Structure 1
Amino acid sequence: MKLPRAYRAALAAAVIVTLLPASPALADQPTPVSSPVVSGPIPGTVPGDRLAEAVEDTYPFFSTPDDLAASGYVEREFYLSGVADGWDQLGNQVATDVPYRTRIVVRRPAQDRNFNGTALVEWQNVTAGYDLDALWNGEAMMRAGYAWIGVSAQRVGVDQLRGWSPARYGALDVTGEGRFTADELSYDIFAQAAQAVRARGKDAPLARLGLRTVLAIGASQSAARMTVYYQSILPQVAPVFDGYAFIVGSAPTRVGPEPVFQVLSETDVRTPVRPSPDTDRFRRWEVAGGAHSGWRGQQYRAPISVRDLGTAPVYDCAQPPFSRVPVDHATAAAYDHLVRWVRTGVAPPTAPPLVFNADGTKARDSLGLALGGIRYSQVSVPTAVNTGDNAGQSFCFLFGSHQPFDEATLHGLYPSRAGYLARVALADLGNVRAGYLLPADARENLRAAVGSGVGG
C-alpha cells in the first residue's frame, strides 16, 4: 500500500526522531525565547462569507461549530509576528532572526471564574494539507475550564490559509520569504506562541485570565515535531512550557525537567518494544481498541470540512472504518494528570501495555479485541469489534475498524438489560478509580449504553 505523501513525511520525521542523539551539549546560557508582537483579535469571528474582500467579513479557518457561549467561552484569532530562529531536525541551529508572521486561534473562558488556570497550546496538525485542531475536545475542555490555543507553525498549513482567504491570511509567512521551506522556523514559532499566551492585558490572547500552567500538546505528525523540539532543541533554549502531551505519535527519550505524557491508540502500537520505560518524568498509556483517527473526530470535522473546504472526504476502507473507542477520554484524563504533575509533583498512574504474541503480533481475545492496555467499557463490555487496524485507500490504515455484533451474539453476551448496564457501569468505575477515566466521561459512556437498547 502506498502511503499518502503527507503521512510519509510524518513517518520520516518519526524515524529521524529515533536517530537523534540523547541531547546536544547544553549551552552555557540557554537562548531566550522571544516574545512576538500580538495583533488582534482579528475582526470577523462568525462563519460567513470567506470570499469577501474585507477581513471583517471573513472568519477563522475551521472555526469551531461548538456552542462556546453556552459554556461561557469565546473564540478569538490573533496574528503573531516577529523574528524566529531556525533549527533542523537534528537540533542544529541553521538560522537566526528570520522575520515571520502567523496566526493563533484561541478558545477560552470569557471570565476568569470559569478558567482552571491551564492553557493547552496545540501544534496544529497539517498532515491533511491544512491546519487541523486535532486535539480540540470541546465538551471535556470547556467542562474542565481549559483554554485551548491552536498554533499555525508549518508552511503547508499557512500556505493553505493564504489561498483560502487572501484577505485574512495573505500576509502570513513562516518561511522567511521562501528561504526556509522545511519548517525550520516552526519550533521557535511554537515556543513564541507560548510566550504570547503568557502575556496579560485586555487585548492579549488570554486577556486577564489567571494563567498558572502552559502545556504543549500535539498529535501524530505534530507530536513528532514536538519530539524533535523536546529532544534536541529544548536543551539549548529557555523553557516556555511546563509540561508536554504527545498524543498518537512519538515522544522523546531524553529525560528533562518538564514531565512528558504519551497517549497512544492501538493503531500506534506496532511493536512490543517500548522505546522508554515509565519514570518519574515520563508516562505512556496505550488504549485498547482505539484508533489513531477515530469516530468522534471524523464526526466533528465532517460538517466543518463541508463548510470550509466544500466537501467532506469519503473513504473506501477494507473494513468498516472508525473505531468507536474514545481515545479522547484518555487524553482528557491525561491533561488533568499532567497539570497535577507539574503543579504538585504527583505522577500519573501507570497503565498496562497492550499484549503481543511471541511472533510479534497483537494478542486478541476470541472476539478479536486486543488484550492489555487501558480498557474502556467499549472494549471490556463490547457491543462491537473495535480495533486500531484497517487498510485501503488514503488514510484508512489510521482509522481502525468498527464491526457491530449481530443480535444473536449480543443476546448471548447480555441476556438482560440490567446485567449489561451494570457491567458497563462497573467497568468504567474501575477506570475512574484507576485514574484512566474522568467521572463525567464515565457517565457519558453509561448514557450511551442506556440509549443503545442492548440487553432489552
Structure 2
Amino acid sequence: MMRDRTASPQNGTQSARSPFFLLAGLALGLSWSTSLLAAPAIDGPIPGSPPGDPLAAKIENTYPFFATHDALTRRGYVEEEFYLSGTATGYSVEGEQLAEDVPYRTRIVVRRPKSPRKFNGTVIMEWQNVTAGYDLDALWHGEQLMRAGFAWVGVSAQRVGVNQLTEWSPTRYGELDVTGGGTYTTDELSYDIFAQAAEAVRQPGDIDPMGGLNVEKVLAVGGSQSAARMTIYYDNILPQVENPVFDGYNFVVGPGPSRAGAEPVFHILSETDVRTPEGRRPDSEVYRRWEVAGAAHSGYQGQAYRAPLSERDLPDGAPEYECVAEPFSRIPLHHVVVAAHDHLVDWIDGETPPSAPYLEFEGTTKVRNELGLAQGGIQLSQLAVPTAINTGDNAGETFCFLFGSHEPLDQAQLKELYRNHGKYVAKVTKAVGSNVSDGYVLPADGLLTIREAAKSDVGKGRRKH
C-alpha cells in the first residue's frame, strides 16, 4: 500500500548542484556555442499582507497577487514573495538559442514550512499558468502539500502574467520585466527564468527564499499551457544543459515530452484532455502516463479555491460561465496529482511507480457505461461509486469546454444503486482501498473521501446537493 510522505528532520546534506548553467552540445541537429549564465539575485521577502490580515499593508495592492487564503499559520507554513533578477538566455520553441545575457526581473512566491522539522526536503516548483491573462497557481493543493511537508514555489515566467502584475500594482510590481525591455515578447526568456528560479532555491546567496531549509529535490510542475512550455523546455532546451536543476517533472492536463531524458516524468491527464486513443507514449523507465476518468481539465476544486481570490484581486471579481451542461466535474484530480508528486520523489531515489490503465475507446469514441461514465483509466471512488454523472466534456462560452460536467443523480437512481447508507459507504471504502493500494491516491486523501461518504445523506432517503 502506498504511504503518505511525512515530514522528517533533514539529514543535513547539501545538494551538489552547480550555481551556474553550462550550455553545450547538440540539440535538434544544430550546434550551439557554450555559454555561462549568471545565477539570479534575490530581493525580499517583499512586505505586505492581504486585506483581512492583522498586518495588512495600508496601501492598496501591496500584497502578493493571489496570495493564498489557506490557513498557513495553523499548519506551520509561511507565504513570502521575492524579486528574482538576473540575465537570461532566450530560446525559440524549437530550442534555438536566440540571445544571451538579457536582463530580467520577476517574482517568485514561496509557501514553505517555518520549521526544518516539518519540511520533507522537496520543493514543488510551479510554472504559473497565464491562460486567463494573469498568474494562476493551478497546482497549489494546500491541504495535501502542507500535510506532507512540501514547499511550493510559484514562478512568474511569462510576459502576460508579469504585465498584468505591473498593472495590478505598479507600486509592488512596476519594475518587473521578462521581455528584455520589449525585445523578446513571445516568452523566449521564460525557460531560462524558470530554471534559474530552481537554482535560486538550491543555491541561495545572502537572501535565502527557503528560510534556511535544506532543499534536497526540486520537482518542476506545470498545468495546461504551463505544461506545454515545460514540454518545450524538456524536449528542446534541457538536452543543452550540462547541470540540470530539476530532479523530476510532472506535466498536468497538457502536453508531455516525447524525449526520454535522465529525469523521471509523470504525465497526468483528465478525461477532457484525452480526445483520441492515438499518440499515447508508452510507459518506460522514465515516463508514466495516467488518465483519470470523469475528471476535468479545470474542475470544481480549483474553481472553488480561487473564487474568493478572484473576488479580492480581479477588477470584475470571480468569472461566471453559461455552459451547455452544469460545469465543473467533482472528480478530485488533485488527489492523483499529489500522489504523482509523492511517487516522483521515490522514483528519483530508484523506486519505480505504478502504471495505470488507459481510458477505453471504441474507434475514436470513449466507452461509457449506462450512466454515461467513462470506462477505463484511473477510476476514483467518486466515479466508481457515483452519486452524480461527472464527465470531462462540456461546451459553451469561453472556457466551458475545459470544465467538464456534473449532474447529480436523483433519489430513484441512488436507491437503485445503493439499498442503504451503509451499503454506499462500504462500496466507497472498497473503491478507495483499491485506489490507495494501486498507488493512485494517498492514504490520507482516501480517508478524507471515506469520511465524506460517511457524513453524506446518500442512502438515507434524502439528498443534499
The CA distance in 2 between the partners of 1:88 and 1:70, in whole Å, is: 44
Determine the structure 2 residue equivalent to 1:124.
128
Is the counterpart of residue 73 in structure 1 residue 64 in structure 2?
no
- Could you tell me which runs of 5 or more consecutive residues in structure 1 were left unpaired when the two chains were aligned: 1-21
Determine the structure 2 residue equivalent to 1:288.
293
Deviation at 1:28, TM superposition (A): 8.6
Q: Given that residues 323 and 394 in structure 2 are in contact (C-alpha distance below 8 angstroms), is that contact kept between their aligned partners in structure 1?
A: yes
The CA distance in 2 between the partners of 1:298 and 1:86, in whole Å, is: 34
The CA distance in 2 between the partners of 1:47 and 1:30, in whole Å, is: 48
Determine the structure 2 residue equivalent to 1:330.
336
- The SS at the match of 2:366 is coil
Determine the structure 1 residue equivalent to 2:200.
196
- The SS at the match of 1:216 is strand
- The SS at the match of 2:213 is coil
Q: Given that residues 104 and 180 in structure 2 are in contact (C-alpha distance below 8 angstroms), is that contact kept between their aligned partners in structure 1?
A: yes
Deviation at 1:452, TM superposition (A): 1.9
Is the counterpart of residue 304 in structure 1 residue 335 in structure 2?
no
Deviation at 1:201, TM superposition (A): 6.5
- The SS at the match of 2:117 is helix
Q: Given that residues 331 and 383 in structure 2 are in contact (C-alpha distance below 8 angstroms), is that contact kept between their aligned partners in structure 1?
A: yes
- The SS at the match of 2:393 is coil
Determine the structure 1 residue equivalent to 2:9.
none
More helix by share: 1
Deviation at 1:33, TM superposition (A): 4.9
| Residue pairs, 1:90-169, within 5 angstroms | 90-169=94-173
Deviation at 1:30, TM superposition (A): 6.4
Determine the structure 1 residue equivalent to 2:325.
319
- Structure 1 letter corresponding to 2:445: D
Deviation at 1:24, TM superposition (A): 2.1
- Structure 1 letter corresponding to 2:180: G
- The SS at the match of 2:111 is strand
Question: Given the two structures, how large is their TM-score scaled by the length of structure 2?
Answer: 0.90
- Structure 2 letter corresponding to 1:229: Y
Q: Given that residues 200 and 207 in structure 1 are in contact (C-alpha distance below 8 angstroms), is that contact kept between their aligned partners in structure 2?
A: no
- Structure 2 letter corresponding to 1:337: H
Of the candidates 220, 224, 232, which is equivalent to residue 224 of structure 2?
220
Q: Give the number of aligned pairs.
A: 432
Provide, for residues 213-255 of structure 1, a one-character-per-residue CA deviation record: whole Å limited to 9, x for no partner: 0010000000000000000000112311011100000011100
Q: Given that residues 120 and 148 in structure 1 are in contact (C-alpha distance below 8 angstroms), is that contact kept between their aligned partners in structure 2?
A: yes
- Structure 2 letter corresponding to 1:405: L
The CA distance in 2 between the partners of 1:404 and 1:305, in whole Å, is: 27
The CA distance in 1 between the partners of 2:31 and 2:456, in whole Å, is: 58
- Structure 2 letter corresponding to 1:314: E
Deviation at 1:48, TM superposition (A): 6.5
- The SS at the match of 2:268 is strand
Q: Given that residues 215 and 244 in structure 1 are in contact (C-alpha distance below 8 angstroms), is that contact kept between their aligned partners in structure 2?
A: yes
| Residue pairs, 1:10-25, within 5 angstroms | 24-25=28-29
- The SS at the match of 2:335 is helix
- The SS at the match of 2:228 is helix
Is the counterpart of residue 208 in structure 1 residue 225 in structure 2?
no
- Structure 2 letter corresponding to 1:113: R
Q: Given that residues 199 and 205 in structure 1 are in contact (C-alpha distance below 8 angstroms), is that contact kept between their aligned partners in structure 2?
A: no
- Structure 2 letter corresponding to 1:228: I
Is the counterpart of residue 272 in structure 1 residue 277 in structure 2?
yes
The CA distance in 2 between the partners of 1:23 and 1:184, in whole Å, is: 17
The CA distance in 2 between the partners of 1:42 and 1:26, in whole Å, is: 42
Determine the structure 1 residue equivalent to 2:355.
350
Q: Pairwise CA RMSD of aligned residues? A: 2.0
Cα pair distance change 1:43/1:361, threshold 3 Å: same
Q: Given that residues 102 and 174 in structure 1 are in contact (C-alpha distance below 8 angstroms), is that contact kept between their aligned partners in structure 2?
A: yes
Question: Given the two structures, how large is their TM-score scaled by the length of structure 1?
Answer: 0.92
Determine the structure 2 residue equivalent to 1:11.
none
Give the fraction of aligned pairs with identical amino acids, expressed as a percent: 61
The CA distance in 2 between the partners of 1:29 and 1:303, in whole Å, is: 49
Q: Given that residues 48 and 57 in structure 2 are in contact (C-alpha distance below 8 angstroms), is that contact kept between their aligned partners in structure 1?
A: no
Determine the structure 1 residue equivalent to 2:42.
38
Q: Given that residues 37 and 87 in structure 2 are in contact (C-alpha distance below 8 angstroms), is that contact kept between their aligned partners in structure 1?
A: no
Q: Given that residues 325 and 395 in structure 2 are in contact (C-alpha distance below 8 angstroms), is that contact kept between their aligned partners in structure 1?
A: yes
Determine the structure 2 residue equivalent to 1:399.
403
Deviation at 1:203, TM superposition (A): 3.3
The CA distance in 2 between the partners of 1:146 and 1:315, in whole Å, is: 34
- The SS at the match of 2:351 is coil
Provide, for residues 51-71 of structure 1, a one-character-per-residue CA deviation record: whole Å limited to 9, x for no partner: 98969x710000000000011
Determine the structure 2 residue equivalent to 1:438.
442
Provide, for residues 251-290 of structure 1, a one-character-per-residue CA deviation record: whole Å limited to 9, x for no partner: 1110000111000000000110134110000000000000
The CA distance in 1 between the partners of 2:376 and 2:191, in whole Å, is: 35
Is the counterpart of residue 374 in structure 1 residue 399 in structure 2?
no
